[in-house]
Structure 1
């Protein structure tokens, strides 16, 4: 059978269009910005760029100077695995059904289009090092390149502890979560790469060098472990702080608060030397732990600096979106509490910094933004379509105009058990003025308790005013916002949640 002249011409035309389309697609991809996403475990917004002048964080501060710092950014759930699953899927916990640190996102949402997968599908080279998801094996669909092959780990470096273990009193429960080392370690005169994050940063530099040689733009996620427990860092970072000048937080608890909603000290209680039979830690141990936390923050800050320095050396800084976030907040003795594991302000407020081509520098924003907003925001910054399943909204308009009005509320959730083992779900929204939280029985849906914090009159968040008659006018609207946000309904922007 012979092909007619018209058919042959048509086929040649289609072939030509396919070639041109492919070349255009490759060209468009090459013109797109790179993305460097830096995830930090347990980093609260206690940094110099956030006004905490007692913290030595020059590199994160430098990043903030180059873009927009968000002063009211919130995670959706204050536990590492679930928080990362929410951020990287663009979905709220009610949708992901990831409520703890050990449930992989793909176990609950095997077919969801994730943030790195979306970039991979759009001709990005995507890879990661360190702790991005809680599990390194989660989301294999998201990554096009193995960073481990480019920069293999050196087993002589990157240790959790570097000093010989000294036996400590076993003041911890006999359970499978107990820790084999202390809650903090001053490693002495060791290089940064003696601990894991220093080694990760050095390997990340090598990966960036490889990515810079490729024709594709890249999406590179780097996750640092510190300042997560144990608070381990070389001596030079401990020496940045004078323990005698460390202020002990107030241990005043929330008046009329829901007592079963506290953190329970999380994993800290499983470290040797941490007493389990006291209402709060004494001043000496509290100061020692805070000292370790600060040292770990400064240690991680130095690793962030290595990545930014390498971007600049490779002449990639002006063509790269850099976003840094801490996966949730952290208690360092505030209210006598430790770790996270609540849906309150200290546990859910996070540092978030975005620096991108075309975005104003040296800016700060009070707009309420959430982790579920990061997926659509990075997509828009990279000129990619925003997937329909994303339950957040792009805050690119805020990046361009940091002082504009924005969304009414940011949502956070946490599951707890009320004695005797009654399963509860706390759903909390932060508005400009309030934090409203309702606690419901997970089995029956029955409302158990309401908490309302008024930051206008009580910035220290020490009083629950939900039962105060003068606040009754606010409750119906806040309850409606809370219900909408939890189910993924996008709440309109540009109006106030305070009647």
Structure 2
């Protein structure tokens, strides 16, 4: 870490601890923002090249806006990724590396992305999974809507009975917290012939449509009070303001449960299995995980590999859930069009990270591999540039400053991302030379951090002591000039000079990878 990087880091942390949290709202005037998060979404969409997946609504949005071909999260795990994106800070600044830490306990003075809009005169409403586990952050919202089915809910009587039985048995054993949750998982998939609104994500789409309709009719405060989503004073405060509406869809997160009609879009026997069902050659022990939460589901193996039959079932379920969520996004966008709001609304769709479907003999997320760190990002900003595909490297910490610039707002000085507005204006222009991610491993009382960097040609990862980066336990290097499947670690096969150059850029932490002619983080570009 350079001295300059260290000084910036210290300044950021001090600011986040001492900044006052009082809201200083100013009158807002700007475009509406529809901010859509999709859980565990890898780039398996038609517009991203997977023609087997039925995703017509997200594909249409891609054709209307800018599809970012190479967008990377900063931590391939739900809580840490969302904490980073929503604060505009990298994980070493939020210090959120797990599923349980509340970012407010680490950086209490952080101004979140929705909170910035709230401070600048927007009516800010959230619903579904924006922060991890649908945690409500009162500073971020005027109102927050929870779906009726907040938990992963099964619809068939058989699965509901199974979960009840497992829950009672777990309670009898005295299990609590995460152990209780793990012991009460039902099957990994379900296809039930039920309406879309039976499931969480259908309810989120219903609530979003209701918000749009009431906003257009001038009765949004009434809806907010009716739903009990805010106190009366807060409900009245959102009248006559531009709208920031955040929707968090839970699928395609496990369990893969979706109405039958979305399963019927696919023939399971025609779905391919992973073409690299083996760990990368010469990869270190920290590179992969033991399938994470998939092991806890009732019909999944507790040890050993997933069978080919189970693998096809899981891929079928994942694709069905992608199509289910795509349909919910389509419902919301259709109503936005019908209400005449589309031309005044910036639409952002992002997945919090990717997911492995048997590749590398592994499942789930929580690694530094391309499959886990890369996720879809689509932005449609009416009147800005032209539609197209941006192939430059971008990071999720870039979303916060991008929306601030698009809406004419001044973001906090300490943001660690770079506005992507120049890419929206010209998707073909050059951009960053690298994108950064990281993953923490714990075991045997030791902590090992894998810092990873994606460049045009390489993915380089250094596994180090997080308290002493000079203590390097292992290195990974995968070429991306060809197929880029990350199947062979060539760190010991290339010139030490290449490793030295890549490591220098990695430890610069993004300060050396900025696009030419673009201001560094903290300096807002005037439009």
TM-score range normalised by the length of the shorter chain: 0.7 to 0.9
Correspondence for 1:256:
282
Correspondence for 2:297:
271
The SS at the match of 2:350 is: strand
Correspondence for 1:88:
86
Check the 8 A contact 1:78/1:343 in 2, yes or no.
yes
Correspondence for 1:163:
156
**1:6-405 matched pairs, under 5 angstroms:** 26=27, 29-30=28-29, 32-147=30-145, 160-166=153-159, 167=162, 175-176=179-180, 177-188=182-193, 190-212=194-216, 213=218, 214-249=239-274, 250-278=276-304, 280-405=305-430
Gaps spanning 5+ residues in structure 2: where? 1-25, 219-238, 518-527
Please say which structure displays the higher CA radius of gyration.
1
Alpha-carbon offset, residue 147 of structure 1: 4.0
The SS at the match of 1:120 is: helix
Alpha-carbon offset, residue 464 of structure 1: 0.7
User: Structure 1 pair 51/458, CA: closer, same or farther in 2 (3 Å)?
Assistant: closer
User: Structure 1 pair 154/90, CA: closer, same or farther in 2 (3 Å)?
Assistant: closer
Alpha-carbon offset, residue 180 of structure 1: 3.0
Partners of 1:275 and 1:115 in 2: how far apart?
Answer: 40
Check the 8 A contact 1:68/1:360 in 2, yes or no.
no
Check the 8 A contact 2:78/2:99 in 1, yes or no.
yes
Check the 8 A contact 1:453/1:463 in 2, yes or no.
yes
User: Structure 1 pair 468/458, CA: closer, same or farther in 2 (3 Å)?
Assistant: farther
Alpha-carbon offset, residue 42 of structure 1: 0.4
1:227-272 CA distance string (max 9 Å, x none): 0000000110000000010101021221111123202201000011
The SS at the match of 1:127 is: strand
Structure 1 residue corresponding to 2:505, chosen from 475, 481, 487: 481
Correspondence for 1:13:
none
TM-score (norm 1): 0.87
Does residue 492 in structure 1 map to residue 490 in structure 2? Answer: no
1:207-239 CA distance string (max 9 Å, x none): 122233342101110000000000000110000
Alpha-carbon offset, residue 105 of structure 1: 1.4
Partners of 1:74 and 1:57 in 2: how far apart?
Answer: 21
Partners of 2:205 and 2:263 in 1: how far apart?
Answer: 20
Partners of 2:184 and 2:365 in 1: how far apart?
Answer: 18
Partners of 1:219 and 1:490 in 2: how far apart?
Answer: 33
Partners of 1:159 and 1:82 in 2: how far apart?
Answer: 20
Partners of 1:268 and 1:450 in 2: how far apart?
Answer: 28
Check the 8 A contact 1:105/1:138 in 2, yes or no.
no
Correspondence for 1:428:
452
The SS at the match of 1:165 is: helix
Bigger mean CA offset, 383-392 vs 138-147: 138-147
Alpha-carbon offset, residue 282 of structure 1: 1.2
Partners of 1:353 and 1:374 in 2: how far apart?
Answer: 11
The SS at the match of 1:474 is: helix
Alpha-carbon offset, residue 421 of structure 1: 4.4
TM-score (norm 2): 0.83
Partners of 2:350 and 2:294 in 1: how far apart?
Answer: 23
Check the 8 A contact 1:205/1:310 in 2, yes or no.
yes
Partners of 1:319 and 1:459 in 2: how far apart?
Answer: 39
Check the 8 A contact 2:190/2:256 in 1, yes or no.
yes
The SS at the match of 2:376 is: strand
Partners of 1:303 and 1:441 in 2: how far apart?
Answer: 43
